[in-house]
Amino acid sequence: MGYELTKQLIADGWFVAGIDTAFYRDSRDYVSEEKQHTFMDPGELARVILFNLVNDANLTVSDILIERSYR
């Protein structure tokens, strides 16, 4: 999703999640620091994706769906 479209969706009341990376730390007009830290941890996400790509199920990238879970 493009940056400008995402900003427009947020302005219209949509909640857009992401991965807690430098992109959000450097883009305060895009998301608040408080919300940034509710985004997915990149290391945890990478471990889950890697595990699922190299296990016996032989998943492919098109088989992976990333959904935010609330803790």
pLDDT in tens, 28-52: 666 677 777 777 788 888 888 888 7
For residue 51, give Cα distances in angstroms to 3, 12, 43, 45, 64. Answer: 30, 37, 12, 10, 12
Distance CA 6, CA 3 (A): 5
Q: What is the pTM of this model?
A: 0.51
Distance CA 24, CA 42 (A): 12
Per residue in 58-69, pLDDT (tens digit) is: 777 676 677 766
Distance CA 41, CA 54 (A): 20
C-beta of residue 22 within 8 angstroms of C-beta of residue 30:
no
